[in-house]
């Protein structure tokens, strides 16, 4: 009997604006959280440009690490 389940063949759906908002709210409400949160763009349905624009509107500081990674603080 294997200790691991078979490798999945289906993929999880990409995360939405609602998922991102929930993640950011939960992260920044933690006591003492002054370090940026890293967002992997590939896991979300929106583009990096859309995410950066909305994050700026919402008051976040944005550090674009590369085409796939953004840090928000």
How many alpha carbons lie under 13 Å from residue 2 in its C-beta half-sphere?
Answer: 4
User: In this predicted structure, what is the pLDDT of residue 2?
Assistant: 81
Residues of the chain with pLDDT under 50: none
Q: Is residue 65 part of a domain?
A: yes
User: In this predicted structure, what is the pLDDT of residue 33?
Assistant: 67
Q: Is residue 26 part of a domain?
A: yes
User: In this predicted structure, what is the pLDDT of residue 9?
Assistant: 84
Q: Are 72 and 55 in contact (CB under 8 A)?
A: yes
Q: Is residue 37 part of a domain?
A: yes
Give the max Cα distance, the chain: 53
Structure tokens at 31: 């006591």
Q: What is the pTM of this model?
A: 0.81
Q: Is residue 1 part of a domain?
A: no
Per the structure, the complete domain to which residue 67 belongs is given by 17-72
Number of compact structural domains in the chain:
1
User: In this predicted structure, what is the pLDDT of residue 31?
Assistant: 87
Q: Is residue 12 part of a domain?
A: no
Q: Is residue 4 part of a domain?
A: no
């Amino acid at each position: 009997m294997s200790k691991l389940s078979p490798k999945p063949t289906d993929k999880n759906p990409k995360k939405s604006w609602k998922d991102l908002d929930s993640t950011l709210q939960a992260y920044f409400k933690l006591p003492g959280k002054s370090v940026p949160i890293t967002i992997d763009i590939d896991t979300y349905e929106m583009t990096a440009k859309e995410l950066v624009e909305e994050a700026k509107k919402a008051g976040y500081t944005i550090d674009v690490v590369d085409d796939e990674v953004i840090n928000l603080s």
